[in-house]
Copies of this chain bind each other. A is one copy, B any other.
């Protein structure tokens, strides 16, 4: 199944970097922790970091009902959600071939406010388990007032593209003999530190909190 069913999600450059595997999209969305939500407000673009979670072919975005940008995104206007993971810094022998290894997903569509209480609760679980796996069972459940105070948007993943670069540097033929210059990749990772308990915490670090660090 191709990831690029429309012109605006079809890559115009570096087509070899377009992953057509649907699984690549899922893996990236499941591994990253934040997305950047783009929308147009008063004619100008606005890009905001946002928490999210994925359930099958649906991306859920989550925020306060008081957040104006989220309210605007819920009115059915076009949005663009981009998720990027930086995997490495690529050192080539020429400055011009310096690059980054990365994976990036771009999703276009119209977000919908999730009204149905059952879907909304499921969406909150998806977003919570994406950020903090195991918390849905461990922490105190959402009460009625809290449930009303959060807004959840859904975005279909139909119109999405994935782009990635991996591997070593590309070089010009003229640079292959420049043996005095180092070339290679410095890997970049997102890592999780040791959990820091709040000063009122009485219980040891639960397994699900430690497990979250291994992602």
Contact = CB atoms under 8 A, between A and B. Distances in A.
Given A2-B64, A36-B47, A139-B98, A189 B191 contact: yes
A181 B138 contact: yes
Contacts of A200: 171, 176, 183
Interface in A148-173: 149-150, 168-169, 171
Contacts of A113: none
Interface of A: 1-5, 7-8, 12-13, 33-34, 36-51, 61-64, 66-70, 78-82, 84, 86, 89, 91-96, 98, 100, 102, 104, 106, 108, 124, 127-128, 131-132, 135-136, 138-143, 146, 149-150, 168-169, 171, 175-176, 178-206, 209, 212-213
B195 A185 contact: yes
Given A44-B108, A100-B131, 4 more contacts: A8-B42, A12-B67, A13-B66, A44-B78
A94 B195 contact: no
A189 B149 CA distance: 31
Contacts of A64: 2, 5, 13
Q: Top 9 closest A-B pairs, CB basis?
A: A1-B51, A187-B193, A2-B63, A38-B47, A38-B45, A47-B82, A184-B197, A49-B84, A96-B146
A38 B49 contact: no
A46 B37 CA distance: 9
B186 A198 contact: no
Contact of A135 (B5, B81, B95, B127): B95
Contacts of A61: 2
A95 B139 contact: yes
A39 B50 contact: no
Contacts of A194: 187
Q: Count chain B CB atoms within 10 A of each CB in A13, A198, A204 and give the residue with the most.
A: A198
Contacts of A193: 186-189
